[in-house]
Amino acid sequence: MEQDTSSPDPFTAVVVLSGGMDSTALMAHYAALRFRLVAVTVDYGQRHRREIDAARDIAAHYGAAHRLVDFSGFGSLLAGSALTDESVAVPEGHYAEEAMKATVVPNRNAVLANIAVSVGVACRAGVVALGMHAGDRAVYPDCRPPFLTALQELVAVANEGFPTPRVEAPFLTWTKAAIAAHGAGLGAPLGRSWSCYKGGDQHCGICGTCYERREAFEEAGLPDPTTYLDGVTRFAVP
């Protein structure tokens, strides 16, 4: 295969779109910058499959090309994570609690990001965008600055000689509340996003990610557009 030294399109962004609040705000961020959007959603066998429907809806909202990648067999190999293993209960409580480590999917962001990079190289995108933020760092190693730096280096080496996208995570140092405020300010359809790890027909309100969502809207001083089964219970910060 011959090397392709042509340049990527600097105004095309491949956005990793889970269907959650952060990636919805990320879509709004790049839409506001007038990027042509390609949304990549990965079915990795997650129990909360409702987020895939949300991603499809949000991609359509932004007129983005939506690429749904069937990687569903991946989850069956990952015993021990509450997001892929039905024998593990989804923990409830504040997101900072030690119990939230049960929601770690081993190497998930590395897998999702590299799938998106492959799509980015193929469609000559200038940017691959990830939605990790500062609030994720305590629980998820692949949401920390060293991960992003290593990923950027890997992408450059793995695609040398080909039109290589730049990997960006604009919310890396932001709080969830700041993301909520930013997304709301850009008119992002945050109410159509899906956060709940329990994956029912309605947000439970008390799993770690539901509580983090509730807290973000409250701290940002924004009305929460989400209907929760339990929107009253409070959890103390550990």
pLDDT digits (tens, 9 = 90+) for 96-139: 778 889 999 999 999 999 999 999 999 999 999 999 999 888 88
pLDDT band at 3 (very low <50, low <70, confident <90, very high): low
Cα-based distances in Å from 138 to 60, 188, 198: 33, 27, 21
Report how far residue 231's alpha carbon sits from residue 38's, in angstroms, rounded to the nearest whole number. 34
- Kindly report the length of the chain: 238
Overall average pLDDT of the 182-197 stretch: 98
CA nearest to 214, candidates 17, 16, 21: 21
pLDDT band at 1 (very low <50, low <70, confident <90, very high): very low
Q: Is it the case that residue 5 has pLDDT exceeding 90?
A: no
Q: Is it the case that residue 2 has pLDDT exceeding 60?
A: no
Overall average pLDDT of the 217-232 stretch: 97
Overall average pLDDT of the 17-36 stretch: 98
pLDDT digits (tens, 9 = 90+) for 52-99: 999 999 999 999 999 999 999 998 998 999 999 999 999 999 987 788
CA nearest to 189, candidates 8, 4, 21, 37: 21
Which CATH number among 3.10.580.10, 3.30.465.10, 3.40.50.10190, 3.40.50.620 corresponds to the domain 9-220?
Answer: 3.40.50.620
* The two structure tokens encoding residue 147: 């991960």
Q: Give me the pLDDT at residue 200, please.
A: 87
Report how far residue 16's alpha carbon sits from residue 229's, in angstroms, rounded to the nearest whole number. 28
Task: Determine what percent of the chain is predicted with pLDDT higher than 90.
Answer: 88
Question: In terms of DSSP bridges, do strands 125-129 and 9-16 run parallel, antiparallel, or are they unpaired?
Answer: parallel
Report how far residue 205's alpha carbon sits from residue 11's, in angstroms, rounded to the nearest whole number. 37
pTM summary value: 0.95
Q: To the nearest whole number, what is the mean pLDDT of the chain?
A: 94
